[in-house]
Amino acid sequence: MRTQVAIIGAGPSGLLLGQLLHKHGIDNVILEARTGEYVLGRVRAGVVEKGTVDMLDEAGVGARLHREGLVHDGTEIAFDGKRHRIDFAELTGKTVVVYGQTEITRDLMDGRAATGGKTIYEAADVSLHDFDGSSPKVRYKKDGKEHELACDFIAGCDGYHGASRRSVPEKSIKTFERVYPFGWMGLLSETPPVSPELIYIHSPRGFALCSMRSNTRSRYYVQCDAGDKTEQWSDERFWNELRARLDEKGRDELVTGPSIEKTIAPLRSFVAEPMRFGRMFLAGDAAHIVPPTGAKGMNLAVSDVHYLSRAFIEYYKEKSSAGIDHYSAKALARVWKAVRFSWWMTSMLHKFPETGEFGEKIQIAELEYLFSSKSAATALAENYVGLPY
């Protein structure tokens, strides 16, 4: 089998890249290790930047997001029992949309099915070959049989645990990492959100986040110990802990109900440099991970795809390698800014066991400054709604 661009991974980055390339007549095949249902079952991101909305529109899959997504003009931060609002619209003229990653993935899958794009699900033992030369190949097993996909380029969109980054020789890649000493226990429930906007909570018991997927479906998180297992978190324990971290109004208005999904996510910041290795390119979580506090992971995957899709279009349509040559530097410049913002939000809002009272005093000073300075609030808002591409 032969294609122009072999894409590894059918998460948001792989599916979006496939859709944009197809629109420009660039042939591509997606190889995905899991089934489509499994990919759709992963409850993850929910906050969508304007740049991401524009990219989904460009790919022709934004209609349902515009119909069903909830436009948020701002967010609230609860601290010392009081809520403070950051007004994105007033401070930046921009907003974000709350629309689940599962819905985006479904829209992208439907878009791909409608255009006849080829996705091979349950592709096992995917391995990447010869991307340092002119004829890269991807090998995989499907239904027990070995297959080889020859291509011009490989796009490694296979997430943090994928095969693409791991196939790069150690001497050619440098990684940067910070692992945080806690995780997020997340619960999804068929209950109305406690408030129309997200509430980020700084409390002496640790961080919590009140988020949502729709007007009837809520997503809540509480900071938990790094080694915690979901079995240790009964619904009752979760709701009690969330209530204890909420302000009084939140406690009164919180509607609880049985969980329909519970997961623990570890928190880390991770960047691999560069993002190009000959004819293989990394995009999305394959190249970088951010703690979810800044709501940046999926949005960053989409901005990588913005640069990468343009690089391939330039190569095939204008016979220019300039985009390809600049992809890594351009993508990383934006990646590091989101890594900084996500690290900063995490540092300001979580309880850090190792920093003691000094750390707590610094957090209080940071939050008081944020709520008293328009410039500080604007800096948060500007990063939250998404820096320009």
Ligand X SMILES: Cc1cc2nc3c(=O)[nH]c(=O)nc-3n(C[C@H](O)[C@H](O)[C@H](O)COP(=O)(O)OP(=O)(O)OC[C@H]3O[C@@H](n4cnc5c(N)ncnc54)[C@H](O)[C@@H]3O)c2cc1C
Q: Using the rule CB under 6 A, give the single segment among 7-15, 228-236, 334-342, 343-351 that binds ligand X.
A: 7-15
Beta bridge partners of 268: 179
Least distance from C-beta 374 to ligand X, angstroms? 26
Q: Does the protein bind ligand X through residue 363 (CB under 6 A)?
A: no
- Is residue 72 among the annotated active site residues? yes
Token pair listed for 241? 């802990």
Q: Which of 286, 376, 375, 303 is nearest to 337 (CA)?
A: 303
Identified binder of ligand X from the candidate list 297, 306, 315, 384, rule CB under 6 A: 297
Identified binder of ligand X from the candidate list 10, 308, 348, 377, rule CB under 6 A: 10
- Integer CA distances (angstroms), 177 to 143, 180, 215, 270, in order: 37, 10, 37, 4
Q: What is the 3-state secondary structure (H, E, C) of 273-301?
A: ECCEECCEEECHHHCEECCHHHCCHHHHH
C-beta of 36 vs 359, nearer to ligand X: 36
x/- track of binding to ligand X for residues 184-223 (CB under 6 A)? x-x-------------------------------------
- Is residue 292 among the annotated active site residues? yes
Token pair listed for 300? 């960053």
Identified binder of ligand X from the candidate list 26, 126, 188, 198, rule CB under 6 A: 126
- Is residue 220 among the annotated active site residues? no
C-beta of 295 vs 380, nearer to ligand X: 295
Q: Does the protein bind ligand X through residue 340 (CB under 6 A)?
A: no
Identified binder of ligand X from the candidate list 31, 86, 313, 349, rule CB under 6 A: 31
Residues 40-99 binding ligand X (CB under 6 A) are 44-47
Contact between 373 and 299 under an 8 Å Cβ cutoff? The reply is: no
Q: Does the protein bind ligand X through residue 152 (CB under 6 A)?
A: no
Least distance from C-beta 96 to ligand X, angstroms? 9
Residue numbers at the binding site for ligand X (CB under 6 A): 8-14, 31-34, 39, 44-47, 101, 123, 126, 157-159, 161-163, 184, 186, 265, 284-285, 292, 295-299, 301
Q: Indicate which residues carry an active-site annotation.
A: 72, 200, 292, 296, 384
